[in-house]
């Protein structure tokens, strides 16, 4: 496995040119996030990712986490690396200084989290869920709960988890059976949860589990669910740790990838019942939990981007070194062969497109939280809601595809574990599944986010993307001119498919559901193409001004054109699949499969 190198120049370009970092740092409360500070944060995070976390990736995969005598042990070096992570203040970047956070924009934290996920996805899953637990308690926790749990969660001294799934309740959360019975000022929980990422481990002194359960008199289905915080170790009134709670890890899953991340089967209440504390109101658990889940979905999109970056670096290095075949009579490395270059450019261009979309969405989160104008906050919230399923599903699908291409670039060596290419593919494969499968994300996009408001949010976003056409039209650059046609075609195809979804949902929902996944892919491809067009425009402007590294900006232009030629050009075909493919999807009876 090649060493990881933090792509700081690429990240800085996406932050400044695509996400509008200057506008974000000007928002109320972010005034201290100067360009110098953000630059220093990125540089130090890149060093920490490359020097501390990344070297543990392959040995962690080989060793895995293990359950020994009731105690979960993470791989060698993880405890020390996590202690250094906490000591460096990395977990606290985007959180309120009132609870020990550093108050930096979510946009900056997203860029830093990309570095952790690229360096070692299995390691970075732990702080990702902890940060999601912080968001939940910040939004819905009582003052007492915030005082007891937030300071340690913000710093990362304690970890957080998300407990939803049960053996009979995967995506259908309405089937959850975990019981919570009130007992004075707390509840007693009994039941079992499965697939709990970092459900138990040795990285922190305490783990605060966020658990979905139902009270005895709750209505059936999702309307009867409540959410509770259930600490592994009970916390005394003075903040000190007390007795062990009535919960334990009873087994760890044996998985395809992310082997260093302990995926636990958790048993609650084998004795008197695990003590938990209600967050929000009874029977409002889904509403509360979606705060945590939606942040996690954006983070998973960033994971797809991150693992794609790592796979690309691996493939690029191999292609530059592997000698195979001849060109002009001389032996050459495989990076000189056109099809290998096609694969590498497909990897590189889609990484740039997905990074642009992830960062754009993270910036919208900041605007929704901090913008002084009510209308802009509302517009940004609508944009985040629309883009969350796209970021989660499109970026995680691309992560798998790019990791697969990385194996292909290696040829037979990619199928051999020692190169590391196979691990990236194995690790990436979970992203389209957890936090709501990508099919669920596609269904949510067409039903709730597009048809739900009559297409208003989607059409507003399409109109915003269309504004890039004016910049392309004004340029005499040949690359930008070549980008314009596929972008316009992609926008037209997305607009046509969007109109069809809105018009068809009421009278033929099955056909819309059958086209949901290609619609999401179309949406992502076009949104990524918009980001690449903006990237090309920015690169051309930088070249005209004589700014920085000319080779870097020429590469951005070349990648933008490649994306337009190779990816955006497929948009009309996807629109055809969305609008015409439903009948064939539903043609067979269940018995004919």
Three-state DSSP class for residue 452: helix
| 435 noted as active-site residue | yes
Residues making up the chain, counted from first to last: 593
What does the pLDDT read at residue 471? 86
pLDDT at 475 over 90: no
Mean pLDDT, residues 24-29: 96
Q: How far apart are the C-alpha atoms of 71 and 365, rounded to whole Å?
A: 38
* pLDDT interval class at 309 (50, 70, 90): very high
Single out the catalytic residue among 376, 435, 492, 503. Answer: 435
Token code pair at residue 375: 């209308």
Separation CA 197–CA 201 (nearest Å) = 10
Domain boundaries, the chain: 8-65+74-139+150-155, 159-283, 454-583
Q: Do domains 8-65+74-139+150-155 and 159-283 have the same CATH topology?
A: no
Beta strands in 198-294, from DSSP E residues, in sequence order: 207-214, 225-231, 233-235, 241-244, 247-252, 263-268, 274-279
Three-state DSSP class for residue 72: strand
Q: 3-class SS at 271?
A: coil
How far apart are the C-alpha atoms of 316 and 334, rounded to whole Å? 10
E strand or H helix at 333 = strand 330-333
pLDDT of residue 280: 96
Q: Do residues 532 and 352 make contact, with C-beta atoms less than 8 angstroms apart? A: yes
Which DSSP string do the residues of 145-191 spell out, in sequence order?
HHHHHHHHHHHTSSEEEEE--BTTBSS-GGG---EEEEETTEEEEEE
Residue 113 host element (H or E): helix 106-119
In angstroms, the Cα distances linking 461 to 265, 276, 490, 537, 575 are 41, 42, 13, 19, 17
Residue 470 pLDDT grade (very low, low, confident, very high; cuts 50, 70, 90): confident
Q: Is residue 469 predicted with pLDDT exceeding 90?
A: no
pLDDT digits (tens, 9 = 90+) for 41-83: 999 999 999 999 999 999 999 999 999 999 999 999 999 999 9
pLDDT band at residue 375 under the 50/70/90 scheme? very high
- What confidence tier does 476 reach under pLDDT thresholds 50, 70, 90? confident
- Give the domain 8-65+74-139+150-155 fold: Butyryl-Coa Dehydrogenase, subunit A; domain 1 (1.10.540)
Q: What is the mean pLDDT of the chain?
A: 96
Task: Tell me: pLDDT of 290 over 90.
Answer: no
Which pLDDT does position 328 carry in this prediction? Answer: 86
Over residues 273-284, the pLDDT tens digits come to 999 999 999 999
Is the confidence at residue 410, as pLDDT, over 90? Answer: yes
What are the tens digits of pLDDT across the range 325-343? 998 889 999 999 999 999 9
Q: Give, rounded to a whole angstrom, the gap between the first and last alpha carbons of the chain.
A: 42
Query: Residue 208, Cβ neighbours under 10 Å: how many?
Result: 28
Band of residue 291 on the pLDDT scale cut at 50, 70, 90 = confident
pLDDT given at position 82: 98
Mean pLDDT over 101-115 rounds to 97
User: What is the DSSP track for 2-24?
Assistant: PPP---HHHHHHIIIIIS-HHHH
Yes or no: say if 176 and 214 are a contact pair by the CB < 8 Å rule: yes
What does the pLDDT average to over 128-132?
96
* CA-to-CA dists, residue 476 to 17, 78, 554, angstroms: 21, 53, 15
Each residue of 195-252: pLDDT tens digit?
A: 999 999 999 999 999 999 999 999 999 999 999 999 999 999 899 999 999 999 999 9
CATH architecture, range 159-283: Beta Barrel (2.40)
Q: Token pair of 438, please?
A: 């990508």
Percentage of the chain exceeding pLDDT 90: 95
pLDDT digits 0-9 by tens, 565-574: 999 999 999 9
Instruction: State mean pLDDT over 95-103.
Output: 95
């Amino acid at each position: 496995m090649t060493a990881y190198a933090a792509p700081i120049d690429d990240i800085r370009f996406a932050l400044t040119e695509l996400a509008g970092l200057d506008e974000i740092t000007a928002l109320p409360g972010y005034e201290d996030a100067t360009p110098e500070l953000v630059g220093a944060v990125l540089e130090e995070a890149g060093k920490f990712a490359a020097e501390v976390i990344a070297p543990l990736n392959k040995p962690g995969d080989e060793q895995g986490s293990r359950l020994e005598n009731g105690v979960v042990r993470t791989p060698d070096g993880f405890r020390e690396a996590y202690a250094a992570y906490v000591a460096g203040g990395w977990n606290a970047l985007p959180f309120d200084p009132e609870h020990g956070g550093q108050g930096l924009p979510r946009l900056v934290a997203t860029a830093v989290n990309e570095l952790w996920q690229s360096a070692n996805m299995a390691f970075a899953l732990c702080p990702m869920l902890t940060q999601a637990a912080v968001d939940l308690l910040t939004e819905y926790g009582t003052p007492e709960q915030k005082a007891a749990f937030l300071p340690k969660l913000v710093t990362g001294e304690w970890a957080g988890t998300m407990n939803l799934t049960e053996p009979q309740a995967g995506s259908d959360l309405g089937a959850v059976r975990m019981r919570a019975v009130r007992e004075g000022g707390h509840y007693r929980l009994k039941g079992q949860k499965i697939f709990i990422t970092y459900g138990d481990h040795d990285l922190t002194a305490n783990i605060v589990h966020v658990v979905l359960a139902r009270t005895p008199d709750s209505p059936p289905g999702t309307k009867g669910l409540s959410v509770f915080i259930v600490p592994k170790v009970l916390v005394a009134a003075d903040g000190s740790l007390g007795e062990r709670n009535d919960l334990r890890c009873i087994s760890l899953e044996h998985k395809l990838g992310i082997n260093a991340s302990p995926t636990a089967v958790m048993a609650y209440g084998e004795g008197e019942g695990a003590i938990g504390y209600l967050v929000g109101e009874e029977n409002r658990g889904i509403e509360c939990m979606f705060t945590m889940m939606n942040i996690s979905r954006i983070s998973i999109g960033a994971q797809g981007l991150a693992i794609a970056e790592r796979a690309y670096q691996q493939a690029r290095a191999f292609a530059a070194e592997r000698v195979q075949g001849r060109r002009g009579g001389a032996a050459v490395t495989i990076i000189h062969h056109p099809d290998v270059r096609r694969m590498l450019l497909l990897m590189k261009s889609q990484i740039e497109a997905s990074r642009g979309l992830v960062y754009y969405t993270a910036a919208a989160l900041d605007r929704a939280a901090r913008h002084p104008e009510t209308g802009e906050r509302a517009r940004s919230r609508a944009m985040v809601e629309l883009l969350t399923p796209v970021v989660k599903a499109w970026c995680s699908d691309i992560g798998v595809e790019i990791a697969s291409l990385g194996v292909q670039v290696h040829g037979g060596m990619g199928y051999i574990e020692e190169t590391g290419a196979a691990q990236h593919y194995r690790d990436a494969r979970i992203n389209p599944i957890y936090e709501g499968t990508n099919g669920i994300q596609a269904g949510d996009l067409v039903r709730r986010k597009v048809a739900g408001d009559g297409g208003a949010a989607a059409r507003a976003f399409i109109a915003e993307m269309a504004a890039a056409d004016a910049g392309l039209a004004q340029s005499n650059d040949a690359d930008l001119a070549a980008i314009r046609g596929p972008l316009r075609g992609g926008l037209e195809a997305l607009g046509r498919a969007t109109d069809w979804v809105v018009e068809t949902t009421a009278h033929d929902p099955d056909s819309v559901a059958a086209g949901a996944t290609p619609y999401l892919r179309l949406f992502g491809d076009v949104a990524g193409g918009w980001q690449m067009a903006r990237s090309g425009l920015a690169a051309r402007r930088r070249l005209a001004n004589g700014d920085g590294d000319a080779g870097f900006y020429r590469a951005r232009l070349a990648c933008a054109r490649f994306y337009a030629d190779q990816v955006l050009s497929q948009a009309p075909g996807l629109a055809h699949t969305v609008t015409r493919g439903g009948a064939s999807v539903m043609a067979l009876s269940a018995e004919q499969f």
